[in-house]
Amino acid sequence: METIDKIKQQIAENPIILYMKGSPKLPNCGFSSQASQALMSCGEPFAYVDILLNPDIRAELPAYANWPTFPQLWVEGELIGGCDIIIEMFQRGELQPLITETAAKHKPADAE
């Protein structure tokens, strides 16, 4: 599968996805740490991709997203932004309702 197709599939399959360095519990950069902390404090599950383990995605995503840096938060197929935007939205009280409403919309009705 082409890298761009893989990225599109990840974004399509995960209503809330964070492309970051490391994982939410073990971030490998301060910006990824702040972004994942803000997301985790919203209390909803979210997907993440460790771009350090996926150099193909790390190379291709900035061009696809037209956004040069990581982390990148995508919600319902739309790029929300990076660390500064995520933190700003969190502080303004805009991130929590976005994440909560998105998670509620995508809760599996037929949860296994």
pLDDT tens, residue by residue, 66-103: 999 999 999 999 999 999 999 999 999 999 999 999 99
Binding region: 21, 29, 58, 70, 83-84
Task: Give pTM, 2 decimals.
Answer: 0.94
Give the CA diameter of the chain: 39
**95-105 and 30-40 helices, crossing angle to 10°:** 60
How far is CA 40 from its chain centroid?
11
Domain 3-105 has CATH 3.40.30.10: yes
| pLDDT 10s digits, 9-32 | 999 999 999 999 999 999 999 999
Q: What is the pLDDT of residue 109?
A: 65
Binding residue positions for glutathione: 21, 58, 70, 83-84
What mean pLDDT value characterizes the chain? 95
Q: Which residues are annotated as a binding site for [2Fe-2S] cluster?
A: 29
